[in-house]
Chain A
Amino acid sequence: MSAGPSSSGFLESSRRGVADADLRRKLENATGRHLEHVAATRAEFPAFDSERDAARRIKEDAIGRLDELLVELKNKLEANGATVFVAADAGEARDYIVNVVKRAGARQVVKGKSMTTEEIELNPALERAGVEVVETDLGEYIVQLRGERPSHIITPAIHLSKEDIGRLFADKLGIPYTAEPETLTDAARKRLREIFLSAGVSVTGVNFAIAETGTLALIENEGNGRLSSTLPDTFIAVMGIEKVIPKLSDLPHFLEILARTGTGQKLTTYVNFISGPRGEHDADGPRAMHVVILDNGRSAMLADPVLREALYCLRCGACLNVCPVYRRIGGHAYNSTYPGPIGSIVSPNLFGSAAAELPFASTLCGACRDICPVRIDIPRILLHLRWREGAAHPAIKWPQAAVKARASVARFARMARFPRTLRLLTRLAALVLRPFARDGYMRRMPGVAGNWTRWGRDFPALRARRKTRSAPQAANHNRDGAAAPAEHS
């Protein structure tokens, strides 16, 4: 009976999220600002929609001949001097990276922001091997100091206020308390720069991998990605198989839309291109470069004709910011590396049954589809996943359930033709259900109605009396003679 959201993790954590008024304020503030920036940058770029279409077409083409492009990418990277490792799952990727770090004799690893390394849970694996891992993206560094996971793809510390961060730095870095973002950032810069200059190995994600030239593109604002691919002697890049694009000339189409949607900038501060280790005479750059190409459930998504579209995702994070569910509950409620609408698609396919309930955590309002830079039809895929999850649990006979539901609606429609009867029945129902209501909502209902609340949905408490907007209406209402059931009791 787990076709709907079960009573496990998600419901509990989303309730905590909804109850946290402070969290909602921070989320509304941050996501609201983001959407304003996005609207402004888009408005002044008339080619936005045509660039979106171009980017979408390139992704369709690239994912449609992924086999070919992966072979080309691997050959080109190797020709450039990089070592390529193909990992079928998270465990293989972790083992390989831990081995590279051990062979390099590094005690410390610096990390650029990477969702893929979160996905494979790299940090705990490295720590178990006795290696200190330091996240260098400011937001990631903050959540790492707090021992949390990021709550947003782009803005990992979106759930924290500057005061929260001030207290954290005072506690962990031993600096005097301040809520001044400049001072806090400066403290992190000093600490992290020292580490950058001494760390032997860096690990980052990849935004695009260009098959034609064997080039990885890393997109960022802070410069930690560039430091990661410049200072340490060993550089490890981790990418999902879906990151490959055919040609260098394809990239501008993505760059024109990615920052505009992800952060509301025209272009991020840094777009870093790296194809291989440093040359003989170079003064900086890694001496060894490893590229880990990760499957981890992606080829199974590719095999599903509806799900395949989800592999076009650029991880811009915009669908989180527009999602009415995400904006109420925050990223941690999803209990997954990938929260929000796209996360609700990706997570069940990467992490299996632990995230099976996430496709149900959506109102299907379609705001995510509208903002998506590559026009991924997220609601359609969510419905597909709901159906798939339902089909996997034959305890629920969906077609029969649909027939029943249709019959109930038809009964209601017949009844609705007699408003007085309907009103009377509503009042009766309100009376019966009154013991189940609390704070204006029913979280459990008896009998047939229990089907509604069984999977964690609540229902507004029925009112015995109509809401009275003005006195004359109320008087009128009373003259009808149908006294409120509450008065009868």
Chain B
Amino acid sequence: MSAFHKLIARVRTALERPAESAPPHQAAGGIAPPHAEAARRAELASAFAREFAAVRGEFLGIHAPGEIPAKVVELARSLNALAVAVGAGVTLDFEPIGRALEAARMAVVRADAKKRAVAPPLHERIAQADLGVAEADAAIASTGTLAVVGTPASPASLTLTPPANLIIFHAERLHADLAAAIAALGPEPFVKNRVAMITGPSRTADIEKMIVLGVHGPRRLFAIAAWPG
């Protein structure tokens, strides 16, 4: 405690002298083109698809919630997945996804606390799965980013340890840019949970600046947008 007070005292003393330099700045201008809501969302979705592909994400299109379980099974089959880890949805009910996967004879690791087995620990079973499925709390069109909030029913491991990852987001939660997404999420999830903004599969350029995917996190990242009607 006293070390902290000493630091604060040093900082205060230091700040007694005003800073020099600081060139004058022009004010930043915001851009907000007016659009009808539906047109705006369609435009955002196409921007998201473009940016997501640019970071080597694989966008599986916009689907009604009812079609999503079949899409997930199709993806899991194409990956030859034996085990799929599924979290709880945010706006969507993920239970039909789990049932559809089981019907397709795949092992399902459910992260939902009520159905959780005791051993081995959940995060280890998720790490053994071939595909992790989670819902994003927000998506960002300008960068192709998915923001996931780690909760007991949808832990961070789902989008981190399996070699492939599917993140589903609701089109209503697709925002134009980072600032809009962070404003929409509000401070609460940041304080209470761990939040990750994910832009493409895990990557490195540490060997001669050549891009290699899947160095620590998922090698392949898929996204589906849900849009009712």
On chain A, the residues within 8 Å of B142 by CB distance are: 266
Docked complex: B120-169 residues within 8 A CB-CB of A: 121-124, 126-127, 142-143, 145, 150-152, 155-157, 160-161
The answer to whether A71 and B215 have CB atoms under 8 Å apart is: no
On chain A, the residues within 8 Å of B32 by CB distance are: none
- Interface range on chain A: under 10, 10 to 19, 20 to 34, or 35 or more? 35 or more
The answer to whether B156 and A67 have CB atoms under 8 Å apart is: no
The answer to whether B216 and A193 have CB atoms under 8 Å apart is: yes
Question: Does B177 lie at the interface of the complex (its beta carbon under 8 Å from any beta carbon of A)?
Answer: yes
Question: A80 to B191, alpha carbons, bound, how many Å?
Answer: 7
Known: A193-B216, A241-B11. A284 touches B198 (CB 8 A): no
On chain A, the residues within 8 Å of B209 by CB distance are: 29-30, 33-34, 155
Chain A CB within 10 Å, residue with most, of B10, B116, B124 = B10
Docked complex: A362-394 residues within 8 A CB-CB of B: 375, 377, 380
Question: A241 to B15, alpha carbons, bound, how many Å?
Answer: 14
Nearest-CB distance from B201 to chain A (Å)?
7
Kindly specify which of B1-9, B34-42, B59-67, B94-102 makes contact with the partner chain. Answer: B1-9
- Interface range on chain B: under 10, 10 to 19, 20 to 34, or 35 or more? 35 or more
Question: Does A396 lie at the interface of the complex (its beta carbon under 8 Å from any beta carbon of B)?
Answer: no
Question: Does A212 lie at the interface of the complex (its beta carbon under 8 Å from any beta carbon of B)?
Answer: yes
The answer to whether B19 and A275 have CB atoms under 8 Å apart is: no
Q: Which of A86, A139, A156, A274 contacts B194 (CB 8 A)?
A: A274
Kindly specify which of A225-233, A323-331, A400-408, A409-417 makes contact with the partner chain. Answer: A225-233
Question: A198 to B195, alpha carbons, bound, how many Å?
Answer: 23
Nearest-CB distance from A362 to chain B (Å)?
18
Question: Does B105 lie at the interface of the complex (its beta carbon under 8 Å from any beta carbon of A)?
Answer: no
Known: A157-B207, A189-B214, A221-B204. A86 touches B3 (CB 8 A): yes
On chain A, the residues within 8 Å of B155 by CB distance are: 282-285
Question: Does B33 lie at the interface of the complex (its beta carbon under 8 Å from any beta carbon of A)?
Answer: no
Nearest-CB distance from A274 to chain B (Å)?
5
Q: Which of B11, B13, B152, B199 contacts A269 (CB 8 A)?
A: B199
Q: Which of B111, B196, B208 contacts A270 (CB 8 A)?
A: B196
The answer to whether B191 and A275 have CB atoms under 8 Å apart is: yes
On chain B, the residues within 8 Å of A308 by CB distance are: 19-20
Question: Does B21 lie at the interface of the complex (its beta carbon under 8 Å from any beta carbon of A)?
Answer: yes
On chain A, the residues within 8 Å of B215 by CB distance are: 138, 185, 188-189, 222-224
Question: Does A162 lie at the interface of the complex (its beta carbon under 8 Å from any beta carbon of B)?
Answer: yes
Nearest-CB distance from B70 to chain A (Å)?
28
Kindly specify which of A14-22, A51-59, A441-449 makes contact with the partner chain. Answer: A51-59
Question: A137 to B202, alpha carbons, bound, how many Å?
Answer: 12
A-B pairs, 5 with minimum CB distance? A223-B217, A139-B206, A50-B28, A303-B14, A223-B216
* Sample of 18 A–B contacts (CB below 8 Å): A85-B3, A138-B207, A156-B206, A186-B214, A192-B216, A210-B190, A221-B204, A222-B216, A224-B216, A230-B156, A271-B197, A272-B196, A283-B121, A295-B7, A299-B11, A305-B19, A308-B19, A309-B19
Given A50-B29, A189-B214, A270-B217, 20 more contacts at CB 8 Å?
Answer: A30-B209, A56-B25, A84-B4, A137-B206, A138-B204, A161-B208, A165-B207, A197-B124, A210-B190, A223-B202, A223-B215, A224-B215, A253-B179, A283-B121, A284-B150, A284-B156, A295-B10, A303-B14, A303-B17, A377-B21
